[in-house]
Amino acid sequence: MSEELPPSDAGDREPVDSVDEVRATDADAWATAVAEDLAAEKARRRTQYGPPPGSAAEELRKLVDNVAEKLSGLQSPLLGGIAGPAAQQVVKQVVQQAKAAVEPVIERNPDVFDHLAAAGGELLAAYRSAVQAQEQRWSRRDDDTLRDRGEDPGPGERIDLD
C-alpha cells in the first residue's frame, strides 16, 4: 500500500503529514457525524413520543408519589362526616410512612430495580415461548384428530397474549 496521501479536494484544508493523521481526522469526522445524527434522532423521538421513561428506580418513585397523592386525596364516604377527617389523617400518615420506608431503599439500590425490570421482561419472554409451544402442540393434536376422522382442520385459531 502506498504511503501517498489522497489528492486534496478542498483548498481550504491544511496539509497533513501522514496517512495516520488522515485516518484520525476521518474517524473524528465520522464520530462527530454519528453523534449529531444520534442527537437529532433523540430530539425527533422526544418531540414525537414525549420524554423517554427513566430508570426503573425513577419510575417506582413516580408510582409511589402518584399512589400517595391519590390515597391522600381519597374521600371516605363509608365512614361518614364524623370519622372522615380522622380517617383521612390516618391514611395520610400511613402513606407518609410508606414513602419514608421506600425512598431509602430506592436511593441505596437503584440498579436493583433495573435488574428486576429486566428479569421481569425475561420471565415474560419465557412464558410467551412456553405458551406458544403449548399452543402449537394443541393445534397439531386437534388437526391430527380431525384428519383421522376425515374432517378438514381449517385455519387455526391463535391466542393473543398481549
Domain assignment present for residue 4? The answer is no
**pTM score, whole prediction:** 0.42
Q: Do the Cβ atoms of 60 and 105 come closer than 8 Å?
A: no
What pLDDT is recorded for position 67? Answer: 84
Pair (116, 96) in one structural domain: no
**CA–CA separation, 48 and 54 (whole Å):** 17
CB count, 10 Å around CB of 55? Answer: 14
pLDDT tens figures, 48-107? 888 777 788 888 888 888 888 887 776 655 555 555 667 777 777 888 888 888 888 888
Is there a domain that residue 147 lies in?
Answer: yes
Question: What's the pLDDT tens digit per position in 108-123?
Answer: 888 888 888 889 999 9
User: What is the residue-averaged pLDDT of the chain?
Assistant: 75
Q: Are residues 95 and 81 in the same domain?
A: yes
Any domain includes 138: yes
Cell numbers at residue 10, please?
478542498
- 3-class SS of residue 78: coil
Does 161 share its domain with 119? Answer: yes
Is residue 11 situated within a structural domain? no
Q: Which domain holds residue 67?
A: 55-108
- 152 Cβ contact list (under 8 Å, min separation 6): 146
